[in-house]
Amino acid sequence: MIRKMFVTTVGFFLSVTAAQAGSLQIAINDYSVEGAVVQQIIDDRQGATEISVRGLYNSDSSSSLGEIGLDVLGGFGELQGLKAGIGLRIIGVDADNEESEAVALGALIRVNPPELNGAGLRAQIYYAPKILTYRDGERLVEAAVELEYEFMPRARVFLGYGFTKVSTEERGDIRVDDSFRLGVGFGF
């Protein structure tokens, strides 16, 4: 399932016009690695629309995750550097021999005020209720926070915390991810 999602999404990204901005991000710690590709498909006065693909492997919890996302973001008039939005995630999880798929809805915020000279904050939370969670899963919660510093226009470093929990009928709550990671992001 996760491989099929990844191959389909990569094919979609390759078909998207190169005129729009995109980014690649990689984050690691001693026992997990996370990678994401984000492609902006619309960016105008009304806001931005992004599609993304993300993968996570966590050896500490013996889990892996793959997801495809769609986010719509907008600014707040005079408040430069503040964007908020809503999003949708299709998520596949393999954790503790339990496999789950979910469709999660959520919200995100990005704060990068010009006064902070490249420093910023990103946060997001997504939730999939029982009706949108399949196979072994019953519910899914995913949240993340990143403190970042953009040291040049197309490169940033960040310290992030990620939390993903899937609820199952047989094993209760399984923490797919609950860790801090150090990462880099590259714009293209």
End-to-end CA separation in angstroms for the chain: 28
Q: Answer for the pair 51, 39: CB distance below 8 angstroms, yes or no.
A: yes
CB atoms within 10 A of CB 146: 21
Reported as a pLDDT band with limits 50, 70 and 90, residue 151 is: very high
Give me the percent of the chain exceeding a pLDDT of 70: 90
Angstrom CA distances, 169 to 96, 97, 104, 106, 134, stand at 13, 13, 19, 23, 11
Where does residue 21 rank: exposed (0-12), middle (13-18), buried (19+ CB within 10 A)?
Answer: middle
Q: What value does the mean pLDDT of the chain take? A: 91
Reported as a pLDDT band with limits 50, 70 and 90, residue 17 is: very low
Domain ranges of the chain: 2-187
pLDDT tens digits for range 50-69: 999 999 999 988 999 999 99
CA 26 – CA 24 distance, rounded (Å): 7
- Is the domain spanning 2-187 CATH 2.40.128? The answer is yes
